[in-house]
Amino acid sequence: MQNAFPKCFVALLCLQCFVARAADDQSPLTLDAPTTATCLQVLREGLRGDDFWPSIHAAESLTLGGHGDEVIEFLTPRLPDEEDDQHRCGIARELVRAGDRGKARVMLEILSGDDKHGHVHAAESLYKVIEIGDGVAMRKAFAQSENATLKLMAGGALARCGNPAAMTYLREMLNDDDAERYRIAAWILGRIGDEADIPRLKKQLPRCPDDLTRVYIENALAALGDTDGLATLTSNLKSDDPAIRTYAATFAGDARAVDVAGQLQEMLNDPHPDARIRAAQSLLWMSRPAIPDREADISQIVFSPTKQNPRYTEGSILELNDGSLLFAVTEFQESDSDFAKAHIVARTSTDGGRTWGDSRILQKNTGGLNVMSVTLRRVTPNRIGLFYLQKNSFNDLDLFVRLSKDEALTFGSPVLVTADEGYHVVNNDRVTQLSTGRLLAPAASTPDVRTVNHFVSRCYISDDGGQSWRPGKGHVDADKRGAMEPEVIELNDGRVMMIVRTQLGIIGKSYSEDGGDTWSEMSSLGVQAPEAPATLRRVPATGDLLLIWNNTYKEGAGHGGRRTPLTAALSHDEGQTWDHTRNLESNPEQTFSYTSLTFVRDRTVMSYWVSGEAGRYSSRFRSLPVSWFYEESQR
């Protein structure tokens, strides 16, 4: 493309631009209006250029500069007509980065498909937007050894989402004999590594066989804050090789190297289109606020009790297609009793849970007593299920589901899940979808909670996306009050495991070999617990199981002990053994229970109740890096 900006104009912009901070500061770079306009003109022309990949890079740059809406408008019509899988990955990636998170499934489908043409691009693109879905396809790509580049990119995606073994592999690959491989490892570690990687990277510099490999390592060092790396990045911006200039311009933004802003402005007139685009990208990126600390523990009370509403409990959290989080809970009225009037309310966060919008009623009270215990699930790519209990009396409690086609703005008519008579307890955040698409709603049932108060657990099953349901053929039972508050999870061998609350001082477990229809006799999970619910999920980045429960048991105490602390543990062998035990909450003056648990990119996202003064319960939002659960135990 012919350069549209005279050098004298760019030079004038260089003089007018004011650098607001040193390179190690985190305050944004201040750009004047003409510089910003020039950057946007470079990117908008690049977006509409004839070369595919520079156009995609311009889309990325516009999003990073705060103009994702333009990218979505321009790229969305192009995706259905694109037939090349590598190009489809590029378009889908930038739509995801711009805010259409639902397009991640395009890349995930390409990654898991039989055609190998797009596999590496899919893994790389998913790494770039921090997305691995349920992790199955990415873990498979990492486990294979046929394609080393695919393994590296899958390792990058998994490491970025919290897999410690993948991070170790990337660091080991810095010592590989193949320059291309250790160049890719350096490129990844420059973005997701830490200061400990600086000496590892520097050790590779003497053996670089060419300038390109050396530049990759130097740029990675710069992104990690190394002084020598920043100096060489500055020099590389003036290289005669357009590829080297382009890579340096890209990493200048990653390093937030504001000291090179003047050189980046000069590059807005670079004869190489990609160099211009990347220079504009880094200038706009550095002018925006720095990304919040991705290692942060985000923890706050989102729903606080009042005299009128003394209890907010049993929540569920779902990521919407625009990347926002929808957090729903039960809002009880005038009493903290399970039988008080209640409806389901929700709030939305657009910044990962740091701030929240106003509360709105998600499900009004349609029961004789209340509606409660919400589960939010994406049952198809374009449909969200709102599951909730409708309580009419002590012998009439049923699960319903309503489906939304507009990202939870509105919901359709209720569908009855538990059509048989009785009192059916389905905990919050409990409905599970198997790899076959089957939906399982695990329920603990009794004829009458006052007069019988003994529960057996079974699954209610839907094979049509929640449109119709039937009860499973078998059930799980236990001594004393029975098998209560079940949770189910699909195992790697295709079986389904159910865990249940008991009065026996243990978490019970049972297995199904027919998709949740019939169940084995209950046995112990090997974990002591009071009479309280436990939550179990599979970690996408590793495939391990994550258990959250109250790690306290006192024989003879009421309910076997208080619901504190709230503890997490991992299993690497499908629930046979548990390690990495860490407390999420340990205040002995409070209780914590009814945890919801999901994974959003590299974060573990939870909610749980927190007890306060007598009869008051709040709901806490908690978001931790997945990697937190793999750190050494703290006892």
Reported as a pLDDT band with limits 50, 70 and 90, residue 374 is very high
Looking at per-residue pLDDT, the higher value among 495 and 10 belongs to: 495
Q: Is 470 exposed, middle or buried (0-12, 13-18, 19+ CB in 10 A)?
A: middle
119 found inside a domain: no
Peptide bond into 565 cis (omega under 30): yes
12 found inside a domain: no
Please report, for the domain that includes residue 332, its CATH number: 2.120.10.10
Q: Does position 5 have pLDDT exceeding 90, yes or no?
A: no
The predicted model scores a pTM of 0.94
Q: Which CA distances in Å does 66 have to 57, 60, 256, 566, 626? A: 14, 10, 16, 39, 27
Phi and psi at 444, nearest 5°, equal -105, 125
Please give the average per-residue pLDDT across 387-414, as a whole number.
Answer: 98
Given this model, what pLDDT does residue 26 score? Answer: 67
| Sign of the dihedral through C-alpha 513, 519, 525, 531 | positive
Q: What is the pLDDT of residues 34-50, one digit of tens each?
A: 999 999 999 999 999 99
CA 521 to chain centre: 35
482 found inside a domain: yes
292 found inside a domain: no
Q: What percent of the chain has pLDDT over 70?
A: 95
Q: Does position 2 have pLDDT exceeding 90, yes or no?
A: no
Q: What is the pLDDT of residues 327-356, one digit of tens each?
A: 999 999 999 999 999 999 999 999 999 999
Q: Does position 11 have pLDDT exceeding 70, yes or no?
A: no
Looking at per-residue pLDDT, the higher value among 453 and 185 belongs to: 185
β-partners of residue 401 are 387, 415
Given this model, what pLDDT does residue 423 score? Answer: 98
Strands 545-550 and 566-571: antiparallel
Q: Are 552 and 564 in contact (CB under 8 A)?
A: yes
The counts of H helices and E strands in the chain are 17, 25
CA 475 to chain centre: 33
Given this model, what pLDDT does residue 614 score? Answer: 80
Q: What is the pLDDT of residues 123-164, one digit of tens each?
A: 999 999 999 999 999 999 999 999 999 999 999 999 999 999
Reported as a pLDDT band with limits 50, 70 and 90, residue 511 is very high
Q: Which CA distances in Å does 568 have to 222, 501, 628? A: 37, 16, 11
Looking at per-residue pLDDT, the higher value among 397 and 25 belongs to: 397
What is the secondary structure of 174-204 as a DSSP string?
Answer: TT-S-HHHHHHHHHHHHHH--TTHHHHHHTT
How far apart, in whole angstroms, are the C-alpha atoms of residue 436 and residue 515? 9
Given this model, what pLDDT does residue 290 score? Answer: 85
For the chain, the domain total comes to 1
84 found inside a domain: no
280 found inside a domain: no
Q: Does position 204 have pLDDT exceeding 90, yes or no?
A: yes
Q: Which CA distances in Å does 470 have to 222, 418, 420? A: 59, 8, 9
Q: Does position 487 have pLDDT exceeding 90, yes or no?
A: yes
Q: What is the pLDDT of residues 231-288, one digit of tens each?
A: 999 999 999 999 999 999 999 999 999 999 999 999 999 999 999 999 999 999 999 9
| CA trace torsion 596, 601, 602, 603 (10° rounding) | -20
How far apart, in whole angstroms, are the C-alpha atoms of residue 374 and residue 327? 10
Tokens of 259: 């000291």
Structural domain range at position 582: 298-630
Tally the residues of the chain. Answer: 635
Given this model, what pLDDT does residue 21 score? Answer: 28
Given this model, what pLDDT does residue 7 score? Answer: 30
What is the secondary structure of 15-38 as a DSSP string?
Answer: HH-B--S-TT--SPPB--HHHHHH
Tokens of 227: 């002084």
How far apart, in whole angstroms, are the C-alpha atoms of residue 295 and residue 97? 20
Q: Are 319 and 353 in contact (CB under 8 A)?
A: no
Q: What percent of the chain has pLDDT over 90?
A: 93
Given this model, what pLDDT does residue 213 score? Answer: 95
Given this model, what pLDDT does residue 27 score? Answer: 84
* 90-113: b (≥16 Cβ within 10 Å) or e: bbbbbbbbbbbbbbbebbbbbbee
Reported as a pLDDT band with limits 50, 70 and 90, residue 13 is very low
Q: Which CA distances in Å does 122 have to 163, 183, 191, 598, 603? A: 19, 19, 18, 23, 21
Helix (H, G, I), strand (E, B) or coil at 235: helix
Strands 496-501 and 484-490: antiparallel
Q: Are 133 and 105 in contact (CB under 8 A)?
A: yes
Strands 383-393 and 396-404: antiparallel
Given this model, what pLDDT does residue 4 score? Answer: 33
Q: Does position 634 have pLDDT exceeding 60, yes or no?
A: no
Q: Are 328 and 343 in contact (CB under 8 A)?
A: no
- Residue 265: which H helix or E strand, with range? helix 261-266
Q: Are 156 and 128 in contact (CB under 8 A)?
A: no
Tokens of 432: 């599970």
How far apart, in whole angstroms, are the C-alpha atoms of residue 97 and residue 577? 38
Name the maximum alpha-carbon separation found in the chain: 88
353 found inside a domain: yes
- Among 550, 561, 541, which residue's Cα sits nearest to residue 592? 550
How many other CB atoms sit within 10 Å of the CB of residue 277?
A: 32
Please give the average per-residue pLDDT across 53-78, as a whole number.
Answer: 98
Q: What is the pLDDT of residues 301-337, one digit of tens each?
A: 999 999 999 999 999 999 999 999 999 999 999 999 9
Q: Are 469 and 424 in contact (CB under 8 A)?
A: no
What is the secondary structure of 103-168 as a DSSP string?
Answer: GHHHHHHHHHSS-GGGHHHHHHHHHHTT--TTSHHHHHHHH--S-HHHHHHHHHHHHHTT-HHHHH
Reported as a pLDDT band with limits 50, 70 and 90, residue 292 is confident
Please give the average per-residue pLDDT across 587-595, as a whole number.
Answer: 97
Reported as a pLDDT band with limits 50, 70 and 90, residue 613 is confident
How many other CB atoms sit within 10 Å of the CB of residue 240?
A: 6
Phi and psi at 605, nearest 5°, equal -115, 125
285 found inside a domain: no
Helix (H, G, I), strand (E, B) or coil at 171: helix
Given this model, what pLDDT does residue 149 score? Answer: 98
Q: Are 488 and 519 in contact (CB under 8 A)?
A: no
Given this model, what pLDDT does residue 465 score? Answer: 96
